[in-house]
């Protein structure tokens, strides 16, 4: 398949309006935005008007029945039902993170796409950031990597998006809101059976909604961890310790809601060189990700710090370009569903290690965690 892809967008919420819809319009040489779908009549109609979309639907079932080439699945909740149905309809799919709520769901998604011969890609935009590519190059120069530190300081979203002309829907009908909440709860319960309230919250709102990005970027840079040695879940954050051979990797996520100072840093430490990658808020278009290198001269006070702006290219736009290349050229996505399944396995493993207080070897292997009670 070559040329422009007829694409439908399912879910016209925040990330669709801030990133995907504007860049689909910019990439009109690659995509024809044919249809949009959202459960909010007002949001759906406003997006259709603004982007000149000829077709709009209130249900995703109607949209995937149309003659399209691909869909972007940008809804909240698990993307498994829509992705599976899209594959069976012969449609390629780019699904936002998280791809699903459990390894079992992910395996069903992969099976459906492989049976249909369709592309199933997961939206980990950071993997398509040019600065991330430079980081991977620089890591090859490090000798005796001793420590990796991944730190996310979560902050409120609203200050980062209030300057956009966002279309917001009203409250959902009570019956629909209840149905969606029940579906979420049922899928979480199936993924982490016996988990307590704190662990369910952390799994749904921290691991799946946020840390899958960090886990995927970690794996893209370092490969699969040898072990998950420690996990601690708190009401305000989460700390995880991985091992890569002799290298320790400390991942920390903390909620700091008072100030709009979002921060995500990947730092790599070797005896003679330090490299840090600092991501901006994902809701600011074309803000550069900064790559900082620290070098020195042994047995000398001399040291240098260099901060590099690699590019102003937006990672969400690069992600869409990659999706088109994979569909048109028959390529396997960098962030394929098979790759992303390991992130879901890691999320399940974090809950299991927090529960058992026992390390887990090869935690990213996509195997279901055993059911047991949770102390959270």
Q: Closest by alpha carbon to 232, among 252, 205, 209?
A: 252
Q: What is the residue whose two structure tokens read 């319960």?
A: 189
The pLDDT of residue 374 is 39
Helix, strand or coil, per DSSP, at residue 70: strand
From-to residues of CATH 3.30.360.10 in the chain: 127-313+342-361
Helix H, strand E, coil C: the string for 1-12 is: CCCCEEEEEECC
Average pLDDT over residues 84-89: 98
Which pTM value belongs to this model? 0.94
pLDDT category at 3 given cuts 50, 70, 90 is: confident
Residues 6+ apart with CB under 8 A from 262: 153, 154, 155, 160, 280, 281
User: What is the Cα 300 distance to its own chain's centre?
Assistant: 42
Residue 371 is predicted with a pLDDT of 36
pLDDT digits (tens, 9 = 90+) for 287-339: 999 999 999 988 899 999 999 999 999 999 999 999 999 999 999 999 999 99
DSSP codes of every residue in 242-259: EEETTEEEEEEEEE-TTS
Question: Residue 18 carries which DSSP code?
Answer: I
Q: Are 122 and 323 in contact (CB under 8 A)?
A: no
Q: What percent of the chain has pLDDT over 90?
A: 94
Q: What is the mean pLDDT of residues 356-368?
A: 87
Q: What is the pLDDT of residue 2?
A: 60
Q: What gap in Å lies between CA 342 and CA 157, rounded to an integer?
A: 27
pLDDT in tens, 333-345: 999 999 999 999 9
Q: Is pLDDT above 50 for 368?
A: no
Give the residue from 340, 307, 369, 286 showing the smallest Cα distance to 122: 340
- Boundaries of CATH 3.40.50.720 in the chain? 5-125+317-336
pLDDT tier at 75 (50, 70, 90 boundaries)? very high
Is the CATH number 3.30.360.10 carried by domain 127-313+342-361? yes
Confidence (pLDDT) at 273: 96
Tell me how far apart the alpha carbons of residues 363 and 170 are, in angstroms, rounded to a whole number.
Answer: 41
Q: What is the distance between the alpha carbons of residues 36 and 31, in angstroms, rounded to a whole number?
A: 13
Which superfamily does CATH assign the domain made up of 5-125+317-336 to?
NAD(P)-binding Rossmann-like Domain (3.40.50.720)
How far, in Å, CA of 36 to CA of 53, rounded?
7
Q: For residue 44, is pLDDT > 90?
A: yes
Query: Is pLDDT above 80 for 167?
Result: yes
């Amino acid at each position: 398949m070559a040329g422009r892809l007829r694409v439908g967008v399912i879910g016209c919420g925040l990330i669709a309006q801030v990133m995907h819809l504007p860049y689909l319009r910019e990439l009109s040489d690659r995509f024809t935005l044919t249809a949009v779908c959202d459960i909010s009549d007002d949001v759906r109609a406003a997006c259709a008007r603004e982007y000149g979309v000829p077709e709009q639907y209130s249900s995703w079932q109607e949209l995937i029945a149309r003659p399209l080439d691909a869909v972007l699945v940008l809804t909240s909740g698990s993307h498994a039902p829509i992705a599976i149905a899209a594959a069976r309809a012969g449609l390629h799919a780019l699904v936002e993170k998280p791809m699903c709520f459990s390894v079992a769901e992910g395996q069903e998604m992969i099976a459906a796409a492989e049976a249909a011969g369709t592309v199933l890609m997961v939206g980990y935009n950071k993997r398509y950031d040019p600065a991330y590519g430079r980081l991977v190059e620089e890591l090859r120069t490090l000798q005796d990597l001793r420590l990796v530190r991944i730190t996310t300081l979560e902050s409120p979203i609203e200050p980062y998006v209030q300057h956009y002309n966002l279309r917001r829907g009203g409250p959902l009908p009570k019956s629909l809101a209840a149905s969606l909440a029940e579906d979420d709860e049922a899928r979480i319960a199936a993924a982490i059976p016996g988990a307590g309230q704190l662990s369910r919250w952390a799994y749904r709102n921290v691991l799946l909604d946020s840390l899958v990005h960090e886990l995927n970027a970690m794996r893209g840079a370092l490969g699969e961890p040898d072990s998950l040695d420690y996990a601690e879940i708190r009401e305000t954050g989460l700390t995880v310790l991985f091992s890569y051979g002799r290298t320790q990797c400390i991942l920390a996520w903390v909620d700091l809601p008072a100030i709009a100072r979002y921060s995500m840093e990947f730092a790599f430490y070797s005896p003679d060189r330090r490299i840090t990658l600092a991501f901006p808020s994902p809701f600011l278009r074309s803000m550069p990700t900064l790559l900082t290198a620290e070098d020195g001269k042994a047995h000398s006070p001399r040291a240098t710090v260099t901060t590099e702006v690699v590019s102003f290219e937006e990672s969400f736009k690069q992600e869409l370009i990659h999706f088109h290349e994979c569909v048109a050229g028959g390529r396997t996505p960098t962030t394929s569903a098979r790759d992303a399944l390991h992130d879901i396995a890691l999320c399940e493993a974090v809950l299991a290690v927090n529960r058992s207080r026992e390390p887990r070897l090869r935690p990213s292997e996509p195997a279901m965690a055993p059911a047991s009670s949770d102390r959270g």
